[in-house]
Amino acid sequence: MRVLFIFIALLLSIELNASDIDNSSGLIKSSGWEHVRAQCGGCHSYSLVISQRADRNTWLDIIRWMQKTQNLWQFRPEIEVQIIDYLAINYPPKPNRRRPPILPSLMPISTDKVQ
Ligand code: HEC
């Protein structure tokens, strides 16, 4: 019985998580997402937005760059702040996932001479 309950709870949570993503744009549905859906999908796909990770300042830089060079329009300040908040909260910088270099002591002993 308990196992069944856990199973159902798990299914429900998967279902809830799935509905947190907008099917058509792929955007995370959280505060401010409708502005991003309305303003950020006209010139390129939303996947360009989603695949980018940045802090607030960098998101702002990206928007300013598009405004200067790509004909992106100006936003009303109260809309812009919601867009930047949304982007910085939902698409923050990723921690560096690269592994550190292998210690020299753990490297195989090379028999080749490097020319
Ligand atoms: C008026 C057209 C237009 C709109 C609207 C627009 N963009 Fe862009 N954006 C561009 C163009 C053009 C590029 C460059 C595309 C490329 O390099 O292929 C771009 C590139 C980007 C990039 C990639 C930047 C990089 O350094 O590679 C991101 C991220 C981005 N846009 C996010 C957004 C967000 C967020 C919004 C909404 C606030 C938005 N865009 C709205 C035109 C637009």
- Report the chain (115 residues): mean pLDDT per 10 consecutive residues: 64 60 96 98 97 97 98 98 98 86 86 66
Residue 19 lies in a domain: yes
Residue 103 within any structural domain of the chain: no
In a domain, residue 78? The reply is yes
Domain with 53, as residue range(s), is 2-93
Domain assignment present for residue 16? The answer is yes
Q: Which of 37, 62, 89 to mutate to test the pocket of ligand 1 (most atoms within 8 A of CB)?
A: 62
- The CA–CA distances, whole Å, from 38 to 10, 42, 58, 81 equal 33, 8, 21, 15
Residue 105: inside a domain, yes or no?
no
In this prediction, residue 14 carries a pLDDT of 56
pLDDT value of position 54? 96
Cα–Cα dist 71/73, whole Å: 6
For the full predicted model, state whether its pTM sits above 0.85. no
Mutation to probe ligand 1, out of 27, 34, 44 (largest number of atoms < 8 A from CB): 44
Domain-located, residue 113: no
Answer yes or no: is the C-beta of 64 below 6 A from any ligand 1 atom.
Answer: no
Is 52 within a domain?
yes
pLDDT value of position 91: 97
Ligand 1 centre to CA of 16 (Å) is: 30
Atom 30 (ligand 1) nearest CA? 49
Task: Please check whether residue 62 lies inside any domain of the structure.
Answer: yes
- Based on the structure, what is the number of domains in the chain? 1
The per-residue pLDDT for 27 is 98
